[in-house]
Amino acid sequence: MTKISELIDYLHLIAPNHLQEEYDNSGLIVGNEHDDISSVLISLDCTEQVVDEAIAMGANLIVSHHPIVFRGLKRFTGKNYIQRVVAKAIKNDIALFSIHTNLDNVAMDGVNGKICEVLEIENTRILKNKNEDSQIGAGMIGEISPMDVMNFLDHVKQKMRLKVIKHTSLCKQKIAKVAVCGGSGSFLLQDAIKAGADVFITSDFKYHEFFDAEDTIIIMDIGHFESERFTIDLLYALISNKFANFAAHCTKVDTNPVKYF
């Protein structure tokens, strides 16, 4: 049998826990690391429906990208979804583990590397290094064979399974250099511009931040969930290729809280 701690240690070899941002709460949130793993359910978010799914399939560990708890909980009265998720997980002996911004901040087998793989971006590198290690930092940038901007929009929409793309003025006729950041990436806009990117693909830009493109780059805001959805596939591949004595499952629950009409 494999202990929860063994899976955690393996994932932390890929994305060490100390690489998470200060505001983050990655790691084991609920459960005993010495418990044996029966099976694992992998999701982007840990919601009540995901916990119910784990209960139904007999999984005793949920590995999610986003942690269910960011700040301290003072009460467990079921007043909000966070309290209910934690309480239900504890009641059903289900461990909750998240690997969030530490997985964002690594180039090899990280969130942004997976986006680049899906979009067929090559010659990639970290967009903004956090230290002297060129494999650690935020966002990624790379190259594609030059593509007409409209064809590139179609390419992104198809590959990332999008219903809609919010974007700034199409100030580039050809796209050859692409910057990406899974999740909220507006803080990297100036880095993408300095790096000479034709387009910056990310999410969660505020209205006034779109003006900052100033016709020097195309911002493509594709949605937070949409930009990170392939993290589920990434984690599934990492876990299932390493461990053969328990089953790993990708959630079938659509945890995206944003809906489109």
pLDDT tier for residue 132 given thresholds of 50, 70 and 90: confident
128 and 183 both lie in a single domain: yes
Query: Which stretches of the chain are assigned E, i.e. beta strand?
Result: 27-30, 39-43, 61-64, 95-98, 122-129, 137-148, 166-167, 174-184, 199-203, 218-221, 247-250
Mean pLDDT of 175-180: 98
Please check whether residue 256 lies inside any domain of the structure. no
97 and 109 both lie in a single domain: no
Mean pLDDT of 48-52: 98
Task: Answer whether residue 62 shows pLDDT above 90.
Answer: yes
The pLDDT, as a whole number, for residue 116 is 98
Of 70, 102, 134, the last residue of a domain is 102
86 and 144 both lie in a single domain: no
66 and 148 both lie in a single domain: no
181 and 165 both lie in a single domain: yes
122 and 209 both lie in a single domain: yes
Mean pLDDT of 142-147: 97
pLDDT tier for residue 3 given thresholds of 50, 70 and 90: very high
89 and 76 both lie in a single domain: yes
pLDDT in tens, 221-251: 999 999 999 999 999 999 999 999 999 999 9
The pLDDT, as a whole number, for residue 71 is 86
Of 58, 79, 102, the last residue of a domain is 102
Task: Give the domain extent around 53.
Answer: 4-102
pLDDT tier for residue 74 given thresholds of 50, 70 and 90: confident
62 and 135 both lie in a single domain: no
Please check whether residue 144 lies inside any domain of the structure. yes
Please check whether residue 230 lies inside any domain of the structure. no
Task: Answer whether residue 20 shows pLDDT above 90.
Answer: yes
Q: What's the total number of domains in the chain? A: 2
The pLDDT, as a whole number, for residue 72 is 85
Please check whether residue 240 lies inside any domain of the structure. no
Please check whether residue 126 lies inside any domain of the structure. yes
72 and 23 both lie in a single domain: yes
Among the ranges given (51-60, 72-81, 97-106), the one the predictor scored with the smallest mean pLDDT: 72-81
Please check whether residue 52 lies inside any domain of the structure. yes
Q: How far apart are CA 81 and CA 79, in angstroms?
A: 7
Please check whether residue 261 lies inside any domain of the structure. no
C-alpha distances in Å from residue 128, one per residue of 53, 65, 188: 37, 21, 8
Task: Answer whether residue 211 shows pLDDT above 90.
Answer: yes
141 and 220 both lie in a single domain: yes
Task: Answer whether residue 131 shows pLDDT above 90.
Answer: no
At 90, is the secondary structure helix, strand, or coil? helix
Task: Answer whether residue 156 shows pLDDT above 90.
Answer: yes
Of 102, 124, 152, the last residue of a domain is 102
Please check whether residue 249 lies inside any domain of the structure. no
Mean pLDDT of 154-178: 98
The CATH number of whichever domain residue 172 belongs to comes to: 3.40.1390.30
138 and 113 both lie in a single domain: yes
pLDDT tier for residue 61 given thresholds of 50, 70 and 90: very high
